[in-house]
Structures are given as structure tokens and as C-alpha cells.
Structure 1
Amino acid sequence: MRFIVVIFIALALLAGAIEPARALPIGAAIAGFIGLTGTLATVVGTAIAGAIGIGFSYLSQTLFGKKPQQGVGGVSGKLQSGGALPRFFILGRAMTGGQLRYGGTWGEVDNTPNAFLSMVIKLSDLPVQGLAEIWVGGEKVTWNPAATPGGNGVAIPEYRNDSKDHLWVRFYDGRQTAADSLMVSKFAGSAHPYLPTRVGTGIAYVVMTARLNDKLWSGLPQYKFVVDGIPLYDWRADSSAGGDGAQRWTDPSTWAGSPDNPIVIAYNIIRGIRFAGKWFFGGQTVAAPQLPLSTWTAAANECDRLVAAIGSGTEKQFRAAGEISLEALPADVLAELMKACNGRLAEVGGIYKPHVGAAGSAIFSFTDADILTSDKQSLEPFPSLDQAVNAVTAKYVEPGEGWVQKDAPPLYSLTLEADDGGRRQAVDVDYALVFSGTQVQRLMKAARDESRRFRRHNLPMPSYCSIFEPNDFVAWSSDRNRYSGKLWRIDAVQDLANLNSGWTLTEVDPSDYNLGALTPIVIAPTLNLPPAAQMIIDWSATPVTINGDEGSQRAGIRLAWDPNVDDVDGVQFEIRLAVDGTVILQSETDRYDAGAILISQNILGRTQYQARGRYRPASPRDTAWSGWLNVLTPDVAEGMTQQQAYELALNTNDARGSMQELQRQLDEVIDRIALDGAENVGADYIQRAAIRGDLVAAIQQVTQAYIAGDTAIADQTTAVNVKADQMSAGGFVKFAATAAPSGVDVRFQIFLNAGSVGTPNWKEAGMVLDIVGGVSRCMFQVDKFSIGNGATNVVPFAIVDGVVYMSGVVIKSSNSVVQLDLRNDAMIFTEP
């Protein structure tokens, strides 16, 4: 006699994780799975009438009181330590806190012994595809798997403090052939040596090295790791198995990626997970023919089918990932995988067939006339209210919140509650291997709606119906029950003594998988932010002249800050050259309460510097540097003022002619502004200079508006000057206007010079436009002048009082040629 049912998860063959595969009584396996005991459990194993109910969804099973198994999937976010820890591995991309296998301190920094803490943390007892993320203290940090490790490993930039690294990572994926060199070098001679034989073949692990710092760590550093798990075989990428690709079951090196497809994972567990040819977890004697690829491919493809995500875009319909402990039974792991895809796994005479998602098409249609009348039929139209599920709450793993368990948006229906007598019958489900907030909502709705397909039939069917199996879908037209092509799922098949078959049917509806609107998932911040670093208050840097004995002077900088703060015992400061950022002074003062300090060490006159500072805290905490402040020191080599230093930069011995005149005018401006009795003075004086050796670059601008006696005066002058050794170039632009009862004047001047003074390459050029005494003038000073289009006709010239002095020039007019003659040094224009 044959009694075949859908076990969902259940492979009696896999009930033992460390024993050879063995068959258990199917009825007992089912009864134990759905939580039935006593007389009903016996009936389930012996007669088809008792098979009603074995098709209950996992929501109904949860309602009956079935508790989640321990050690199945989920996230282990805490570091485990101790001598007797279970072995584990990672499926898909999942987080683990790992297991501490070795730890110790070493090294000395700044006279501090044992300044570094190195911890060897196991991530998996099987080789993995990679380390995807690192979380420190509840915060995701920057981890670049492709970076080249330094002596301590790959530095984590978030833990770079005071320009020094404080955290490093060295990762091994389980395929390493030598022990970690850092651990061997630091601990080979310790009381508990880390020997070169500690290769950890097949074990994925990290070495986390932290430089201890009270500002960064309170106690031991806390780590979590997101791992791309073990590679698995996907027959769909095996051309020898009807797929497309180079993967082969007999050659694990061809397996690619760390699949998160629940059906692909289930296939590998049923056939058995091995390392280096040795069995590790799952089935031990299941052969490929026991898993027909047609049904497994259909189920795997259904998992990979793209569906709409919240907002925009798509995602795979069903995915699964998690940390699997070897303490878990393979059947329990399979149960979680089936929950992750609303899947059903049937065992038919040692053949395993899955079904995922919505109901399929009917492969057989029958009527009342096909049902045998010689055996009893039974119908369960509705369960008791205690067995009806109308609300679902659930937990899943949320990567956006640090891979911790999160409550999914609850699924309620006032309509269903009214149908159930006005009460809410809620089931809380732990989706331990699900890490998508949208996927869990699809699972919740489909499972709830499917659980409310209440009608179940036990039917005696003729012998030709014995070819059908659990998870097959059939259509039934029944006048007696008023069914017209109604779709049913076969949940159990029993061989009867007369060679006929007994079916257990459960009504199904593909619309159960019509999702409707998804609820957006609100992701809470995961940043574990330390207290903000304290900024220095009222930081300033100003140039000063420091007077010495016998009239000597030195250039200096005055640094100042607000001293009225708590938990501060000093101020640190840095001075650097503005031109290239070279730091020329790093120091600190204990007299933070003075609020200021004069700095002259390494300070040169007439030099642009930048200064920054920060408080030095009395207790271990972070303080922040101020921004860099610019400060130009005075040139006190000859007792000059800061203003004179600018003038020197702008007016070197290489400046001649009108540049000297400009300087004289600028001096008059400054002196005039300082005169006692000046009225309504508005002036602005801006200067910039950079000097290094023989290189000088300077710019000066004076803008003024003032009243002198009965005259209103306004002018603006901009001058630039550069110098390199004996070569210099410069110029100015000036615009000035005066107004008095006696008259008005206005003048615009441009002057340029370049070259080396006293040599033939020294050149000057200038132009003046003015209106003085009611007469407008234009005056030039240049070596060459071009008239017309500028292509030719370039000659020496001079213009004085409206007279142009030239020689040998022909000017073309529009209709004739104008002949130029020189008469008494004057140019006369005549028509030929």
C-alpha cells in the first residue's frame, strides 16, 4: 500500500543531520510536522479519512502551536566565544557575528604598551565567495575588498583619527594555504602561540586589528560581518544537465556565486553539501534522478521571476539567505526555505518535487461520474473558528537596519474579521531566511489567502488516477457541489487495497497571489554616532610686530580663543605656509585660560601663513580643528609697517616712471585719509602679496571718496606687480574725478611696464583719457601703432596736444589716397 502526501518541508529521509539517510513512517512524520497527536495522528497514518488537514498551510500550523526550530537561519549578530561552539556556514548574503577563535594585544605606540588588539573571528566553516560588508558598533563602515592590505591589513577610513589609522581588516575566504602572517609574527612566541600551522583550511575568517583609543572604543570593539556565502550548484547553468553553462555537480570549482534562490538552496541541501569530497550537511544518499529537473527548474524560475518593487523597479519574487548552524536539522532548514517562497515539497516514493507560488494549470479534469461510489467520500467545508486565520504579523531580516529582525507591516482585513464573527485571529510568523520587506508582504498575503481556501475533499478515485501525485492541480466539475471546472490541489495520494487511489484535495485560487498595494518600508537610521566633536570657539589669527631691545623687531602671529569652556586643559595649534601647505609649527599651550598666545618661532616677515587650533580635552573625547585662517605677517626687517611692506612688494627697484607716480599718489591717499579734520571719509584699502625668495606677486587696490575743503574727490586704483630675479612686470588702472565750485575734472589712466630695468628689453606703454579745464584729450605712449585693420602700416609715432607725429605713413580712405607730408615735425593731410 502506498500513502503519498505533501510534506512541505519534510523529508523523513533528512530527519537526522549526522546519520545515514533512513526512512521513517510517513504518517508519523506528517503528524509530527503539523503538531497532531493521539488518535488523530494514528488515523493520519492508517486511513485516508484522517488525511484531511495535512494540507494546512504553515499559518494554520503556527496557529496550532508549532514553534520555530532553533538554530535555523536568521542572523547571529553577536560574537560567540568559547570552546564548544557549533559549526556553521552561510547561505546567500547574510550577516554573522562570527566566532572568536583567537585574540591578543601587542605593540607599543607613544610609550603605551599593548596598544593593538587583534582578534581572529571565524565567519564560516565552509569557504565563502567574499566579505561584502563590515559593521562596527552598529554602523556600516567603508570596506573595499579589492584594496591591497598593508602591514596590519586594509585600513577602515571611519576609524582614522588624528591622521592615524585605528582599525584594519585582513580577510580569508577559506581557500588560503598559509596562516595569517601578522598573527604569527606577533604571537608565535606568546604563552598561547599562534603557530604557522593555523591555516584554517576551508574556514573563512577575518583578523580585526584595532589600535586601542578611549575616544573610539568603549570596551572591546563590536563587529558584525555580511558574508557572500558558500557557492552552490545550479543545474540551470549546467549544459550537461539540460541547462546553459559550465557548472558541473562533480566539480564544485565550477559553481558560481552564492545563490539566494530558495529552490536552488533546497536542491543542494537535499543532495548534500560537501567540502573536499566529504559530506558536511544535508542528504547523504540522494541521487540526481530523485530530483527531476523539470519540476525543480520550474520552481527555481518562479523564484527568480521579476516582480514589482515598492516605488519603481523590480526584484526577484522569492529569495532566501541566512546563517545555518549544524545543530539544525536539514528538514527544519528546508521548512524555512519553503516558507521563504510559499513553497510545498512533496516526496513521492523517494522522488522529491517542489511547487512554488500560485496554483498551476489543471493537468486533469474530472466530474462526479469519475469518483468511485464503492468507497466513502468526505468533505470539510469549513474549519472551526479557532483554525481560521484572518490576520498576519511577521518578522524578517532587514539589511537597511543593520541586518536585524524587523516587524513587517501587519496584514489586517476588517472584511475577513467580520466573516469570522468579528474577531481577529492573528498569526505571527518568523521569516528567518527572508531579507526583503516587499517579499515578506507578498508571502503574508498569499499565505493568508491560501489558508482561507477552506474546502477539502477526500475522494476515492479509479486506478487510472494513481499516476497523479501531490502538488498536481486538477479541475473538478460537480453538479452535487455546484462546481464548474473548479481548481484543486492534490495534497495526498493513497493506494487503496483494490488498486484504486484515494485523493485528498484542497481548493486553490491563483488570485491569492494578486498582491495589490505594498506598504512602503520605513528604514530607521543605523548610525551609531558618537558625540559631536567640540569646536574651538572664537578662534582668530592676526599679524603682530613684536618689539625687542634697541629697536629690534620680529614678525609674529597672535592666536586667540574663548577660554571659558569646561573640561579643557590646553589648546593645540598648527601654523603652515599658505603657498604650499608646509607645516612649520605644531605646538600646544597649557595656558588655555589666557585666551591668547603670541607665536614668533619659525615665523618670517612679509609671509602669508595659515593657522588652525583646537581645544585639548581633559577627558578622553573628540575635539575638532578649526578651519585654516589666513594671516600675512608684517615685514619688520627695516622697521617698516605692514602698509609699507605691501608698498615694497608692489614697488620694487624695478618699477619706474608712472609706477613710481602711482605709488606717490597712493601715499597721498593714505596720508590724506589720516589727516585731522577730514570729513565724510570713505576709503577701502586691499592688498595681497606672496613672496618667496626672489619671487614676488602682489596686488593692491585703493578706493576712496572724501571731501577736502570745498572739493569732492572720488578715485579708484588697482595695481599689480610680479617679479622673478631681475625680471618684472606690472601696471595700474586708475579712474579719478573731482568736483568744486570752480570746475570739474575726470581722468582715466592705464600704464604697463615689463622687462629688466636698464636693458633694451624694458618696455612701457600707457594711455590717458581725461577732461581737464573743459578740454578732452587722448594721449598714448607706445613703441608702435597700427591704423586700419592692423595688418600693416605699423610705424613709430607720438601724439602731443592733438598733433600726430609720424613718418612714411600712407592712410587709405574710402575713395582716395591721403598723402602724408612732414612739415615742421607736423603731419599734414592733403588730397592728391
Structure 2
Amino acid sequence: MIAVAVAVIVYAAPLLGAVASLYGASAAVVTAITSTVVGLGVSLALAGVGTLIRKAPQSVSQSMADRLQNSVVPSAPRKIVFGRTAAGADVRFFETWGSKKDRYAQVIALASHKVTIRDIYLEDDLTWTSGALVAHTDGINFLRAINEGSSANAQPLGSGAYWTSSSRFTGCAYLAIDWKLDSKAWPQGIPQRVITIVDGCPVYDPRLDSTAGGSGPHRASDQATWEFVHSGIEIGRNPALALLTYLIGYRLNGKLLWGMGIPLNRINLDNFRVYANVCEERVVTADGSTVQRYTADGIVSTADTHETVLSALTAAMGSCKLTDVGGTYGLVGGYDDTLGPKQAFDESDLVGGMNSPAPYSWVPSGPARETYNIVRGRFADPAQLFQLVDWGVIETDNLPDGVPRTLSLDLGFVSRAETCQRIAKQFLMREAKTPGFFTATFGPKAFAVQVGSLVTLSLPSQGWNNKLFRVQSQTENDLMIFQMTLREESSEVYAWDREEKPLPAVVRPGGYDASAWLPVEGLRLSTAAYQGVG
């Protein structure tokens, strides 16, 4: 057993050294584990590895900005829309036609999957809603809004020589528009800003799958059973279910179109059921009303990396992180579960190397340059037709060195400023209240925990009595020896008491209006006589 412990510590030392260098810790802070392998070399075969996949939110997808202006780029990637938001605006076909060349046909791709089209804006004017044109009828011959392309709704457009009845755009949502080229209807030309508000991709809900521990008709292998609304609940706006749908992937004619294509047996569906319920819980706002805890209303594309998409969706659930434990995907964090079950450890559970001073590394805080006391960022505001605007600012106490540092946190999938502020506070409070990392080699007792588990640690040398941690990473060998990194945890991270602040004022000067006029005022009629004239 001693030989095994020595081998584990040899593996642990480089890992702890990496942790120490990452946080710039001094020798006084980090107790390095050292040991020497004696006799024949002993190798450590890794039987299982668990880790947190998403470390911090990434920048928003370029699609968030691209959708606000029509794009004529042949290589534009396919768009993926979750929740209620503005869809893509990729022009896939255009043709000037008519005997007088006074008509202009255009096909605008919205998404690479089924949606429900709600409203269409030309520039800032609501033009189409509830299936009918409500404005600009003098400049549009017709507008067809197609939720999902198929042979049943394929029709020729323009002259019909190019976009024919065989042009189906199978599986994609799109607009087919026949414009009038009329200078009176369009004095500034055909609008280049067509914003389409949709209810995005239907999602799979394991709570509604009677074959996967739930109750209902949903089936992961049958996209026809997926829904956006079920029994009046907009499950398509649930970020946990959107993330699950992306992990499973979206298929067309049996081929994976987008997403990761993860087999269902590698996803912890019980875990996703819990998080789906957490997202739909109601929280109280400052005015006494309630809102859904977490929603996902955003757009990404097939050009975005999986990391970008996963980061955007998990960030919509606060400090939630996606985990991969032994090849099985699940979620951890994002809500206060600190009163839940915990596994207790003490110094007898730590495995140390021969003559090592202490079998652990404790880094109480990160480097100052990576510590923040201010968070600000942007979100896609529905009131501004989903342009990225500031959601406000969250601040905590001054840092020890007195230097204010700001973390930029753009939340492209969050459509309420209050929710952005609540999420931002989680990130800020985690850095302020629980910055410490503890790394050590544990004995077989650690088999009872996995990444995301809550644990307590009693360590007299640090003055700890049942100090609360959460498992951040775990490496296991075939002899039940575990290398684990723990992070401090506290219920203060999730505290929120109706603290939202109003949005920053939007200052938008009025645009030019050629039809506006000012009345002539203040004129006075007078006469004058000039002698010697005429």
C-alpha cells in the first residue's frame, strides 16, 4: 500500500505544482508534496477521470450581431435558435424580375430547424404578425413565413426559373418575400434590416419521456415528439433542456445536422430533470412579481465551437457548470444545494508520501490580477429588438489592494436584465467568498463522491472543522486512490434578495423624418415708405 501511495504522490506533485504556478502561490502558501520512488518503477493506471468542462463564460456568438442585418454571404453557417429571440437573417436567394424589373424576390434563412415565427420587423416597424401583414402593404406583394421547409410548402418564387416548386429548403425555417421596387413605398431602398422573432427549436424533455424515467410521449430518438410549449409551459426556453437537446444533437433524415450527438446512455438524465425543474422555479423580483429563475433565449451557429455553445447555455444558469464524470455528462452548481447531503473527510483520509511534510496543497486565493469586485456586461434586450445593450453593474467590497477590477460578462442567452444581474452576482460572490482550492490525494473513502459532490473537511492544521467544499476534479486509479481538487463552497454565493438595479438609460436621438414639418411662427407684417423711389 505504501508503494501505491508513493506512486500516487509522484503523479500528484506535478499537478500540485501546476496549481501553484497557476495561482502564483508562494512556498509559504502551498505545501508541496514530495516523494521518491524506491525499487522498481510503479505506474499509475487511470481508471476514471472527472472534471468540470466549462470554467468560465466565453464571448457571445458572432451570430448575435449578424442577425441584426441582412447578410448576403454564401458561406454563412447554419443558425441554431433556442428560446424566444431574433432568428438569423441570411439571404439565400434574390432575384430582380418582372416585365419592368420592378419586383425583387428574396429568401431569408432563419434557422436550420423547425421554429414558430411570431413577428417580423422591417427596420423598427412591426410589419407581420399573427400570419398577416400589418404594415408596408404598399411595398410588399406577399410574404410567406415558413416554420419548417418541406415539399408540402415549397412554392416557386420570383420568375420561377431559379427558385422553383422543387426548392424545399427541407427542415429549415425561412421567409419568402416578393418586394415592390417602388420609390414611394421604399424611399431609402429595400430594407436591409429584417428582424424575425421566433419561438426556437423544440426541445427534448426527459421528464416527459415514459421510457426514460419520466411520464409522457417525448422520445429522444424522435424529434417529432419534441416541443416548445407543453401544457402551457414554455419548455423550449428552459436552458437545461436546450443544453440537453444540443448534447443529443439535431438530425435531418437521420444525419446529425448540429449538436454533439452524445448517446443517451452517456447523459445523466436524472440530473437534467433536476436542473429543468430548478430553471422553472419562480423567484421574486424587487417589485414583488415573480419570474422564472433561468431562461435561454439566444442564437448560435454551426461555426461556433461546442465550447462556445456549452458556455453560453450554462452561463444562462448562473455559475452552473457542465461536468464529464467517467464519460457521463451532467450539471453542477447554479443553485443553492448547500443543505444537501455531504461526505465528511478528515486528515485520516489523506494519503501522503514518505517523509512528506503534509499531504495536501491549499491555495486560499488566486492572483490579484484575476480577482474582481465589479462585473458588467451586455445582454440581448427584447425591448431594443435584441441588440446587445448593458444590463447594469454589480459591485462588492473593495479588494485588499484597493485596485478596482472589472470582469466583463456578456450573457447572450439571457433576455432579462434582472436575471443577468442575479447571475453576475453569483460569479462575483464565488470569487469573493469561495476563492480557495484544496488539492490532495485521498484514500478509498473518496469513492463515495464525484465531481460536483459537496464534502466537508476537518483539518486541525488549518483550523477547519467541517469546512464546506465542492469537488472540482477527480482522478482515480485502479487501487481506489483518488487525486481530488476541492473548491470552497458557501450559500452566500447564491444569495439574492430582490436587489436588481434599473437598466442604464438608453439615449437614442430621433431619426430623420422626411414627412415632418415645422409650422411657420413668429412672423410680423410691417410696411415702410422710401422717398425718391419709382
- Using structure 2 for the length normalisation, give the TM-score: 0.78
Equivalent-residue separation in structure 1 for 2:435 and 2:461 (angstroms)? 18
C-alpha deviation, 1:490, in angstroms? 0.4
Name which of 162, 174, 193 aligns with 2:148.
Answer: 174
- 1:579-621 Cα offsets, whole Å, 9 max, x none, are xxxxxxxxxxxxxxxxxxxxxxxxxxxxxxxxxxxxxxxxxxx
- 1:770-813 Cα offsets, whole Å, 9 max, x none, are xxxxxxxxxxxxxxxxxxxxxxxxxxxxxxxxxxxxxxxxxxxx
1:124 matches 2:111: yes
Check whether the contact 2:246–2:259 (CA below 8 A) recurs between aligned residues. yes
Q: Counterparts in 2 of 1:154-165, with a 5 A limit?
A: 154-157=132-135, 159-160=136-137, 164=138
Q: Which residue of 2 is the match for residue 247 of structure 1?
A: 218
Q: Which residue of 1 is the match for residue 121 of structure 2?
A: 135
Name which of 284, 304, 329 aligns with 1:308.
Answer: 284
Q: Which residue of 2 is the match for residue 144 of structure 1?
A: 129
- 1:746-777 Cα offsets, whole Å, 9 max, x none, are xxxxxxxxxxxxxxxxxxxxxxxxxxxxxxxx
Aligned residues: 465
Q: Secondary structure at the match of 1:505?
A: strand
1:274 matches 2:251: yes
Q: Counterparts in 2 of 1:430-441, with a 5 A limit?
A: 430-441=410-421
Q: Counterparts in 2 of 1:373-772, with a 5 A limit?
A: 373-374=352-353, 376-413=359-396, 415=397, 417=398, 419-452=399-432, 453-496=434-477, 499-516=480-497, 517-521=499-503, 524=506, 531=513, 533=515
Q: Which structure is richer in relative contact order (CA contacts within 8 A, separation 6 or more)?
A: 2
> Compared with structure 1, are the counterparts of its residues 525 and 249 closer, same or farther at alpha carbon in structure 2 (3 Å cutoff)?
farther
Compare CA radii of gyration and give the structure with the larger one.
Answer: 1
> Compared with structure 1, are the counterparts of its residues 530 and 214 closer, same or farther at alpha carbon in structure 2 (3 Å cutoff)?
farther
Check whether the contact 2:53–2:321 (CA below 8 A) recurs between aligned residues. no
Q: Secondary structure at the match of 2:197?
A: strand
Check whether the contact 2:394–2:425 (CA below 8 A) recurs between aligned residues. yes
Amino acid aligned to 2:500: L
C-alpha deviation, 1:503, in angstroms? 1.8
Q: Secondary structure at the match of 1:241?
A: coil
Check whether the contact 2:149–2:170 (CA below 8 A) recurs between aligned residues. yes
> Compared with structure 1, are the counterparts of its residues 194 and 142 closer, same or farther at alpha carbon in structure 2 (3 Å cutoff)?
closer
Equivalent-residue separation in structure 2 for 1:171 and 1:178 (angstroms)? 14
Q: Which residue of 2 is the match for residue 734 of structure 1?
A: none
Equivalent-residue separation in structure 1 for 2:181 and 2:271 (angstroms)? 56
Amino acid aligned to 2:501: T
Equivalent-residue separation in structure 2 for 1:344 and 1:473 (angstroms)? 14
Q: Which residue of 2 is the match for residue 221 of structure 1?
A: 191
> Compared with structure 1, are the counterparts of its residues 230 and 513 closer, same or farther at alpha carbon in structure 2 (3 Å cutoff)?
same
Equivalent-residue separation in structure 1 for 2:375 and 2:270 (angstroms)? 33
Check whether the contact 1:174–1:204 (CA below 8 A) recurs between aligned residues. yes
Q: Which residue of 2 is the match for residue 345 of structure 1?
A: 322
- 1:14-55 Cα offsets, whole Å, 9 max, x none, are xxxxxxxxxxxxx99xx9xx999xxxxxx9xx99xxxxxx87
Amino acid aligned to 1:370: D
Q: Which residue of 2 is the match for residue 325 of structure 1?
A: 301
> Compared with structure 1, are the counterparts of its residues 291 and 393 closer, same or farther at alpha carbon in structure 2 (3 Å cutoff)?
same
Q: Which has the higher strand share?
A: 1
Q: Which residue of 2 is the match for residue 790 of structure 1?
A: none
C-alpha deviation, 1:403, in angstroms? 0.4
Q: Secondary structure at the match of 1:450?
A: helix
Equivalent-residue separation in structure 2 for 1:120 and 1:177 (angstroms)? 16
In structure 2, list runs of 5 or more residues that go unmatched.
Answer: 5-13, 24-32, 34-42, 45-50, 229-234, 524-534
Q: Which residue of 2 is the match for residue 114 of structure 1?
A: 101
Equivalent-residue separation in structure 2 for 1:528 and 1:171 (angstroms)? 31
Q: Which residue of 1 is the match for residue 159 of structure 2?
A: 187
C-alpha deviation, 1:442, in angstroms? 0.8
Check whether the contact 1:73–1:321 (CA below 8 A) recurs between aligned residues. no
1:297 matches 2:273: yes
Name which of 77, 80, 84 aligns with 2:75.
Answer: 84
Equivalent-residue separation in structure 1 for 2:519 and 2:479 (angstroms)? 96
In structure 1, list runs of 5 or more residues that go unmatched.
Answer: 2-26, 37-42, 48-53, 148-153, 539-561, 565-832
Instruction: Give me the CA root mean square deviation.
Output: 3.4
Name which of 201, 205, 208 aligns with 2:177.
Answer: 208
Amino acid aligned to 1:246: P
C-alpha deviation, 1:273, in angstroms? 1.8
Equivalent-residue separation in structure 2 for 1:425 and 1:534 (angstroms)? 48
Check whether the contact 2:53–2:324 (CA below 8 A) recurs between aligned residues. no
Q: Secondary structure at the match of 2:409?
A: strand
C-alpha deviation, 1:296, in angstroms? 1.4
> Compared with structure 1, are the counterparts of its residues 249 and 55 closer, same or farther at alpha carbon in structure 2 (3 Å cutoff)?
closer
Per mean C-alpha deviation after superposition, the further-off stretch among 442-451 and 309-318 is 309-318
Equivalent-residue separation in structure 2 for 1:121 and 1:56 (angstroms)? 36
> Compared with structure 1, are the counterparts of its residues 367 and 309 closer, same or farther at alpha carbon in structure 2 (3 Å cutoff)?
same
1:369 matches 2:348: yes
Check whether the contact 1:72–1:333 (CA below 8 A) recurs between aligned residues. no
Check whether the contact 1:74–1:323 (CA below 8 A) recurs between aligned residues. no
Q: Which residue of 2 is the match for residue 736 of structure 1?
A: none
Q: Secondary structure at the match of 2:461?
A: coil
Equivalent-residue separation in structure 2 for 1:182 and 1:56 (angstroms)? 47
Amino acid aligned to 1:451: E
Q: Percent identity?
A: 21
Q: Secondary structure at the match of 1:409?
A: strand
Equivalent-residue separation in structure 2 for 1:103 and 1:57 (angstroms)? 41
Equivalent-residue separation in structure 1 for 2:333 and 2:141 (angstroms)? 45
- Using structure 1 for the length normalisation, give the TM-score: 0.51
> Compared with structure 1, are the counterparts of its residues 456 and 494 closer, same or farther at alpha carbon in structure 2 (3 Å cutoff)?
same
Check whether the contact 1:231–1:255 (CA below 8 A) recurs between aligned residues. yes
Equivalent-residue separation in structure 2 for 1:536 and 1:349 (angstroms)? 73
Amino acid aligned to 2:386: W
> Compared with structure 1, are the counterparts of its residues 253 and 97 closer, same or farther at alpha carbon in structure 2 (3 Å cutoff)?
closer
Amino acid aligned to 1:123: L
C-alpha deviation, 1:358, in angstroms? 2.9
Amino acid aligned to 1:251: D
Amino acid aligned to 1:320: A
Equivalent-residue separation in structure 1 for 2:410 and 2:314 (angstroms)? 13
C-alpha deviation, 1:402, in angstroms? 1.1
Equivalent-residue separation in structure 1 for 2:156 and 2:510 (angstroms)? 29
C-alpha deviation, 1:289, in angstroms? 2.2
- 1:488-541 Cα offsets, whole Å, 9 max, x none, are 100011225753222211001112111231002357488986627458989xxx
Q: Counterparts in 2 of 1:798-813, with a 5 A limit?
A: none
Q: Secondary structure at the match of 1:302?
A: helix
Q: Secondary structure at the match of 2:101?
A: strand
